[in-house]
A and B are shown apart, each in its own frame.
Chain A
Amino acid sequence: MLVMWAAFDWTNFGQQTINGLTIGALIALIALGYTMVYGIVELINFAHGDLFMLGCFLALSLVSVFGLNEAGVLATMPWWRILGPVLLCFLVIPLFCAGLNLAVDRVVYKPLRNAPKLAPLVSAIGVSFIFMNIGLFWGGAQDVNFPDLVAAAWPEKSADGERIQTGIVRNLLADSDTGLRFTVKDAMVIGVTVPLMLALSLFVSFTKTGKAMRATAQNPVAAQLMGINVDWVIGVTFLIGGAMAGFGSVMYALTLNTVGYQMGFQNGLYAFTAAVLGGIGNIYGAVLGGIVIGLVRSLGSEYVGETWTSALVFAVLIVILVFRPSGLLGSRTPEKV
């Protein structure tokens, strides 16, 4: 036993944990869109993952406009010429996804607001297919390489600190003796996701609009009777959910450097699972669920096997739902009638 303990590679475990947290943060950003929309209109917006995918494609088109997509161009480009387009992506893509999400609500879901729940649900699947085909038309059937801008702007230095190693992203822990890699990409994901989530949490807790969102989620009719314009609240929810997916798109593309028309389906499924696992409708639950799934994916593929990752994620989901049917943080405050 002692031998096994000693032989356990803690560095590797720590590394997988870092990777899991990074992936988890990305999943959580997408999961927020599922959970917020569900919380307000009780609709599982199946098109949300594909919205995220379109955001990735727009990011690719945008960096192509700046010529960052051409072979060999990155090696000689100074970091500040890369930073500009990246920041532009962080501005444009969330706006695009927010606007598109709102448009889908107004055109597709809003006319069905008083229809049976199945009607908007099936429509959401339809929108998902439409988006997927737009993605197919936009980017082709093959996965496309997204230029590794972060590695180009912040490359790893060699041991003597003089030469740079092109194509390898800088490890911020290189000078420590932990043996861990925490790269500029990881820092970017954590550095964008955490403030976003804090901002969202403060918004929902303390602003008038945020409180109106919670009130509408809990009882839309009563919210109307308070003078809350429920349609407006729903619109804000789609905007915020879309913007979160947009931030996720940019970081996903910059971090994993591959985009394809089917990425929305798989990542959407993980994100939806995260939302359910955390307790659908609860924004903290979506974040927690995203992190749990990120960790399960990362640690699972290391210690159980790559091929088992998806099965493992859903096994964890099932186990958690058996013991907590409303999810980890699902609220079950009784309503006295």
Chain B
Amino acid sequence: MTGRPLTILLAIILAVLIVALVSHHRVIPVYPGEYPVIAPPMHCDIEYHDDRVELALREDPLLGRVIVYAHAEGGVYLGILKPVYDRRVVVRRGDYADFRAVIKGSSVEAAEFLKKMDRYEPKIDMFDSIVAAHDADRAFGVQKCLYPLCTRCVEACKSVIQGDNIPITLEVKPDGHIMPVFRRGKCPRCGRCFVNCPTGSILPPDKGRK
């Protein structure tokens, strides 16, 4: 007689535990917002001179600075953060790369800063790198998104969704620049990615549609 209620009680406890365990893994908060919009990549027209490369941007960057990148041999991506004046960026001979990253497939494997206080280790001339990339038909240009320097969108998303399987990834596109890629399915629509993006690479839906 006493065995039956005990069995029912155990079954209820077990059911509650299973539900709690399953829901813990499946709960993704869904906010009443909308999906973010990834801004189109930044384009520029390039003029080559003996001692400099001038890049004329077709839009104003939000921060007033952009990454000028050039791919080098062995999947190395070199970048320099340059100020923009009148929609123009000038890379002169003697402008050394601020950072380099190793690209594998469409993702960044590792990144390191080359500027250490008041010295560069090693000194990699960005002007020469751009010219070499141009001659060897490798990718170079300007990039709005600050990855791999900034990972704010990914960090913000990770604060909402547990685990690594998040809807935003940063990928190297076929033309060489890095930009966020967004997969709608798992997005909780919390809006933290575009609120935290300092460069406007990820936009709120109302601005993205314009």
Partners in one complex: no
